[in-house]
Structure 1
């Protein structure tokens, strides 16, 4: 089998041009969204209050929380990363702190965990593993990383910013294999990509494709294109896949940055459908539907089976929305004004709204222990529960 670059290497490749331009890509995409004068969001009117949800607890993580740093869920706990690199683990049922550890410097990814070990990547490109609050090993990397490590099957899988892949022994940190990423990608987004396990296949986002990888060797089993580069410059041709994704069985649906949303059957790598979609953050979904927000705040739903449009609402336009979370009969999104929106899965109508602080929500809401967990940029974590 061939790897992404048709070879397997023992050391992660450096990619200085790719890494130097990651911030530029993000900045230019933001400018293209709104220009200099960002339109003002519409007034939403009274809270519809169609479902009863209350704030059960709040907790502080000791510092501001960076944007696009996913919250890690493991059972009934959530792990939140602060700007200084401190990781706070909270009981989602009560909000109580259960663990706290730090690699000693800011992190570039969220936490990867299998419940026994937690793994992070630091700004100086150190891959660091912990058991509880004790560091058990550290390994130097030669490329930056923005996607949380995947810890599964006694191994740590890592996707670097240049979309190279590598695997390490979770107990010792010994490198098991490494595969180069594409060599012709001048820009990579500085935000989490796609890296997950589906059965005995490692599924990764590589440029505009989902790739199924043998977790034992790094060889590629299949590649499924969701978007192709278009445009006249490097920014317009950027088609990187972004997290989060929606998985139901072997069906994995994902977003290609500012290009498309699509679903793939990971049992054979077949593309089931793609639809044009100009969004910059991940998607959510359930057995019937896939949900996502456009960069202008329009929220859309597609039929999971064939990609046909189910509904679209524009009432949340010009609010920087997170990736959606499907929770019960709701689609949950949060915005940069600190509001959490619960919409109907059936038609997108507003069910209720929840408020955090005005610092804005840092990353997509998650659910753990029957609790909806929302993290503010201020470092306050909110736990909401149904009445």
Structure 2
């Protein structure tokens, strides 16, 4: 089966899965971030052309863009879901979940699934709602659609599986929740015949047939004296190459796990809130201070550090060919060299923040902005 910009945590209440936001003291955020320096004039060492664009309603929720082959699924905050053929930029279909979204979107290229703020899991196919089912708690991680099933991880640590065509719940597994969880996308992907999820600071391999645990590998352990300091949830995009999966623990560590053996290969201290990307040699990540770091995949030793974007608010990176691609909150798309992090090109998309990690479909890099711009770029 193939299956610190501070993010407010939320408190999970037991025996009802009700959730309320908590106020975070200014001390938790530290001193205000300094203003980033002006960027030098762009020197385009690599050509990049815009291939197509599609318009969505505004994106003001933690969107995860889904790629399956040539199909890219995106969603707007109002519940609009669009399936795009990345080769041409044509809309294959457009539909609506019928309510504002808290998480999305997962897709296998045909079926798409999102979660609404009303805690409803909604499956769409061909632009039509196929089914809706109520979840136990709020959800910030996009569903995973794989093997004709839809997998969901809610903020109360409940993981569930649903039949993709009927919406029948196949199984549910509940773990003890921390007092606080991040209001950010977590980790969930298919690796061979194993469902791999993030549970706290651990990467967990589960049997997709029934949800039982096969292995657990700790990337980070809770630390500190209060609930906020002890947050080490795995968050954002991961880098998978074969059986190697590398992930980020919130403001704690970056690490890689051998999913065949269920063993931690390495973990390194790293202060950031966004996910990682990588290739067979390197793992790339953006830090809370705007630095971009590359670690060697084999042992986690640092390969290079780019400080040119310091104090900018960055997305997680995308590794694509000779480039490491990332967006920032001013709407700029940066192309860096995968070899040493030096700049290769820089583009402005539509003037609004880039809100989702760029993704690659075929030879097309797909970018989504806060204003709802979905743009396909083709690097040389």
Please state which band the TM-score falls in when normalised by the shorter chain.
Answer: over 0.9
In the alignment, is the contact (CA less than 8 A) between 2:71 and 2:109 conserved in 1? no
CA distance in 1, matches of 2:54, 2:206: 39
- Report the Cα offset of residue 116 of structure 1: 2.7
Aligned runs of 1:1-387 on 2, under 5 Å? 14-16=16-18, 19-21=19-21, 24=23, 32=28, 35=31, 37-61=32-56, 63-183=57-177, 185-387=178-380
CA distance in 1, matches of 2:238, 2:135: 26
Give the corresponding residue for 1:4: none
CA distance in 1, matches of 2:15, 2:236: 23
TM-score (norm 1): 0.91
In the alignment, is the contact (CA less than 8 A) between 1:33 and 1:296 conserved in 2? no
CA distance in 1, matches of 2:83, 2:27: 35
Q: Which runs of 4+ in 1 moved over 6 A?
A: none
List alignment gaps of at least 5 residues for structure 2.
Answer: 1-13
In the alignment, is the contact (CA less than 8 A) between 2:72 and 2:109 conserved in 1? no
CA distance in 2, matches of 1:206, 1:64: 30
CA distance in 1, matches of 2:209, 2:108: 18
Aligned residue pairs total 367
- Report the Cα offset of residue 222 of structure 1: 0.8
Give the corresponding residue for 1:6: none
Describe the shift of the 1:55–1:32 C-alpha distance in structure 2 as closer, same or farther (beyond 3 A).
farther
In the alignment, is the contact (CA less than 8 A) between 2:136 and 2:154 conserved in 1? no
CA distance in 2, matches of 1:65, 1:93: 23
In the alignment, is the contact (CA less than 8 A) between 1:279 and 1:294 conserved in 2? yes
Aligned CA-pair RMSD: 1.7
CA distance in 2, matches of 1:71, 1:83: 13
- Report the Cα offset of residue 182 of structure 1: 2.1
CA distance in 1, matches of 2:108, 2:348: 32
- Report the Cα offset of residue 140 of structure 1: 1.1
> Secondary structure, in 3 states, of the residue corresponding to 1:244?
coil
List alignment gaps of at least 5 residues for structure 1.
Answer: 1-11
- Report the Cα offset of residue 355 of structure 1: 1.1
